[in-house]
Structure formats: C-alpha cells, structure tokens
Amino acid sequence: MKNSWKDECGVFGIWNHPEAARLTYLGLYALQHRGQESAGIVSLEMTEAAGSKPVHHIYKSLGLVADVFKETHLNQLRGLSAIGHVRYSTTGGNLLSNVQPLTSNLLSGPVAIAHNGNIVNSAVLREALQRDGSIFQGTNDTEAVLHLLAKNPSTHLRSALKESLQCLEGAYSFVILAHDRLIAARDPLGFRPLVLGRIENSSSLSYVVASETCALDLIGAEFVREIEPGEILEISSKEMVSERIPTAAKSNSVSVRKSAQCVFEHVYFSRPDSVVFGRSVYNSRKRFGHQLAQESQVEADVVIPVPDSGVPSALGYSQTSGIPFEFGLIRNHYVGRTFIQPGQGVRDVGVKIKLNPQPGILKGKRIIVIDDSLVRGTTSQKIIQMLRAAGAKEVHLRIASPPTVGPCYYGVDTPQKSELIASMQSVEDIRQFIGADTLAYLSEKGMWKAMEGGPETFCAACFNGDYPTSLKGVEIKKTVEKNI
C-alpha cells in the first residue's frame, strides 16, 4: 500500500443556491477536522441563457480553509452549485496536483470530483489505465475515476459512473459536479459517511451533500437522510434519481457483510456534534466511557479527559463510576491537531504546546485519564509525564477503544503496523512504556455493546485486523480489464 494514497478527507456539495461557493466554504470550515493540508472549491455557473456554455470555476490550494480562500476567490466562484474538499495526506502526497476537487473535460462536459476514502485497488486500476494510454497528473487514487469515466462510451454521466464504480474496491464517498447535475455516491460497504440535507425558502429548494451533519448545521440545512451504502444519488434541476451500484462482480466479503461503516469515525475522527451512520457521535463516545468504567474500575479521586476527543468518554466514565469529572489538562485551541503534522519531532513538541496540566486539580490526587485511542503511545507517554510533574500521585490511563493493532486502508491515516504499539507489545509492556500506574482499554465486545452493532455492520479492522475487502483488489482485476 502506498502511503501517498492514505487520505483523510471531508467533502461537501450544494445544488441550486445563490450563495453556493460561500456555503461550501462554510461547509468545509465545519469539516476542517477531516483534513488540514489542502482545500478546494469548484463552482458551476450556468450561463446558457446568455448564449454560452455552463462553466466550472476552480480555486484550490495547500493550507487550511480560512487561509486558502479570500473574499476575492469566493467572488470568482460564481454559480448556483458547487462542491468542495478538505484533505490531509501523509508525507509525499501533499502535492498541488493532488489537491481536490479534481477536474476534467469529458465528452459530456466539464466534471469535478471530490473523494473521501481510499480505493484499495487503485494500483491495479492505474496500471491498467496507463497501459491503455491514460496520462495521470497526480499520485492520488481519485484520478483513476476520471479516467474510467473518460473511457466509458456512454455520454450519460450517471450510467458511465455506475459502470466505473464497479471497478473500484475500497472506500469512497464521492461528490461530483457536472455541467448540469450534482452526483453523490457511496461505496457498497459504506465505509465513510455521507449525508443529504436541504435548504428550503419561499422561492427555492437547495440540496446539500456533506461528510458530516455538523456541516449541515452550520449552514442551516435540514438533515434529510444518509446517502445509502452503494447508492448513486443524482440531483438536477429536473429531478432526483437514486440508483444502486451493482455488486455482483465484487469479492465474496461484500456479499456476507451488510456494510462496513468505520467505527473509528465514532471513536475519534468525526466531530462529536455530528450524527454519523444514524448515531450521535457524542453519545457513542459517552457510552464507550460508561462501558469502560464497568470493565475497568480503579479507585481514584478524579476523572480527567485528554481534551477534546476524550471529553465525552470521560464524562461517561465519571457518571458510571461516580468519580468526579474535572478538566486537569487545558487545551490551547489555537494549535492544530498536532498528530496530523508529519514528522515525529513536531508531534513531540506539539503535546506540550497543546495541553497544559492544572496542578490545582492534580496535585496529590489519584487521577484517571481518559483518551479516545492509543496509537503509537508517544502522546500518552508525554501526557503522563506532564501529569506527574504537576503533582499527580497516581495516573491510571483508560482508553475508550480497543488496542489499535492494524493500519487503516480505507481513508484514516494510521501509521504502519510496526509503529502501532499494540500490534507489537502487550498491555503490560505498553503500561511500562507510557509510565502509567495502570492501563486498560475498552474491550472489543464492550465497544460493540456501546455501538449497539457489530462486525457485520461496522469495520473495525484497526482494532481486530478483520479487513472487509481484499487489500489489493486482485479479485476484481478481471472486471477492471473488461471495463477499460
């Protein structure tokens, strides 16, 4: 698996709104936690009445949403419809040529695409397409979809897309803007979230598609429903059409699973104020905390979260255990999510920049610290050192998810297996490494209980190594070759 293809992203699209680009900007702002390295918007201006063709306006660059877009850019992004993208990529992938939305001119007209997820058979696809003459601009997996669309004999975009998507294996939530329609599509296992919303006023009806409901909330859009796993939803001025991606040619794993929605969206990745896969993320995290307290009680004076992602679970732990909740670590909110900055050195400094311990809460106390997950272990190690330096008598670390044992190939940036401390070491070894008095994780069973679901609905490959697709997409190589 190439590192440059492991992307964390957020996508947004809006159809038929006079302030399409500005609402896309706001939507991306709400989705900023899903990717901080680049941002882009493509708008669609329909100028047919004036005698010319519909045109796409594009602005994208490396950086945070608020840094990338200035007033002048938004003014230039004219039109009633738009799509946008925020992206984080691992080292090597942050080239301008990879910044989305990607655009192309097909026989049917201009098309722009924004993708959240990771296509696991993209190497197979790329090679087959290159052998057939396609010239790739970047190193990302999304571009292959544009080439598949270009090669499809149908000039009807939805039909071409339906066939092209059958060549893909892995995770994709797409928003696509053509010259006359907006299309949202989600892979048959529904790894990544994608929701539909609407804004209605006296004179117009607008549709919105976004990775998370927090983006709908910000722009005042009403939640309609999720884009279903395996659904292609087309929105145009004439109608709204929903179709299914045929899955017959897919590997066996697809047919035995109903879906493989990413449980890590609930553990860490999504915002707690979002409703993801029909469930409140905040409630899931609180339930992880309740469950954790039932599984691994320890005598202590105070429960503190590692803010922000540990807060709901710490509340849940405190409520179930009866041990008071306090903020023993105060977060500086003007620092980015330090884990996301590539380079070990930066991350180590980052923990101190981001979190400040409060001796007034910690001194002489037995502390239970709750974090959402433990990946490499370096953050926890630094935090425990800081808590002890601030006078904590005992530090008991509780992790509101099971041990992270496997990398994600479906769009969350987890390090490779050798860097995942739980894939190499026992809980006791990890406890010693991080310097805690005790360490306990939420059990996988406990996680499923809290989620009121199980491995037939959710993907938890990072916690149990059970990958719902073949990782190289070899099984569908023949389908790819047939379709190219």
Catalytic annotation, residues: 9
Going by C-alpha positions, the residue among 170, 186, 259 that lies closest to residue 226 is: 186
Among 413, 431, 447, 484, binds ligand AMP (CB under 6 A): 413
CB neighbour class for 205 (10 Å; exposed up to 12, middle 13-18, buried from 19): exposed
Q: What is the DSSP string of 12-46?
A: EEEES-TTHHHHHHHHHHHTGGG--SEEEEEEEE-
Q: How far is CA 217 from CA 30, 212, 221, 267, 275, in A?
A: 9, 9, 6, 21, 11
Here's the x/- map for ligand AMP, 7-46, by CB under 6 A: it reads as: ----------------------------------------
Q: Which is nearer to ligand AMP, 190 or 411 (CB)?
A: 411
324/59 Cα distance (integer angstroms): 49
Which of 89, 116, 122, 379 contacts ligand AMP by CB under 6 A?
379
Of residues 282-321, which lie at the interface with ligand AMP (CB under 6 A)? 306, 309
Give the total residue count for the chain: 484
Nearest to 308 by CA among 284, 289, 332: 332
43 vs 380, which CB is nearer to ligand AMP? 380
What is the Rg, in whole angstroms, of the alpha carbon atoms belonging to the chain? 23
Stretch in the footprint of ligand AMP (CB under 6 A) among 324-332, 378-386, 445-453, 464-472 = 378-386
CB of 330 to ligand AMP, least distance (A): 16
Q: Kindly write out the interface string for residues 328-367 of this chain, putting x where it contacts ligand AMP by CB under 6 A and - elsewhere.
A: ---------x-xx---------------------------
Is residue 372 at the binding interface for ligand AMP, with CB under 6 A as the rule? yes
* Residue placing its CB nearer to ligand AMP in the complex, 7 or 231: 7
Q: Which of residues 425-484 bind ligand AMP (CB under 6 A)?
A: none
Q: Is 265 in the site for ligand AMP (CB under 6 A)?
A: no
Among 171, 195, 375, 436, binds ligand AMP (CB under 6 A): 375
Q: Which two tokens stand for residue 187?
A: 């892979």
# residues near ligand AMP by CB under 6 A = 19
Instruction: Please list every residue from 78 through 137 that binds ligand AMP, using CB under 6 A.
Output: none
Task: Provide the token pair at 56.
Answer: 């796409």
Which is nearer to ligand AMP, 54 or 336 (by Cβ)?
336
Residue from 121, 378, 401, 457 binding ligand AMP (CB under 6 A): 378
Nearer to ligand AMP, 147 or 271 (CB): 271
| Chain centroid offset of residue 368 CA | 29
Angle at 348 between CA 345 and CA 351, to 5 degrees: 145
Question: Per DSSP, what are the bridge partners of residue 82?
Answer: 14, 43
Tokens 């996680």 locate to: 447
Least Å from the CB of residue 263 to ligand AMP: 13
| DSSP 3-state of 77 | coil
Nearest distance, CB of residue 440 and ligand AMP, angstroms: 15
d(CA 12, CA 25): 9
Tell me phi and psi for residue 69, to 5 degrees. Answer: -100, 125
User: Facing residues of 177 across strands?
Assistant: 112, 182
74/408 with CB nearer ligand AMP: 408
Reading the block at residue 376, the tokens are 């490499």
CB of 422 to ligand AMP, least distance (A): 9
377 forms part of the interface with ligand AMP (CB under 6 A) = yes
CB-neighbour burial class of residue 153 (10 A; exposed 0-12, middle 13-18, buried 19+): exposed
| Shortest Å distance, C-beta 369 to ligand AMP | 10
Separation in Å, CA 24 to CA 40, 146, 207, 270: 10, 22, 12, 18
Taking the least distance from each CB to ligand AMP, the nearer of 307 and 455 is: 307
Looking at beta carbons only, is 68 or 421 nearer to ligand AMP? 421
Task: Give least dist CB 329 to ligand AMP, A.
Answer: 12
Q: Which stretch binds ligand AMP (CB under 6 A): 79-87, 168-176, 327-335, 369-377?
A: 369-377
Question: CA-CA distance, 152 to 140, in Å (whole number)?
Answer: 21
Nearest to 37 by CA among 75, 4, 14, 13: 4
Candidates 46-54, 138-146, 152-160, 377-385: pick the segment binding ligand AMP (CB under 6 A).
377-385
Q: How far is the CB of 130 from ligand AMP (least distance, A)?
A: 30
How far apart CA 68 and CA 200 sit, in angstroms, is 29
| Residues contributing to the site for ligand AMP (CB under 6 A) | 268, 306, 309, 337, 339-340, 371-380, 412-414
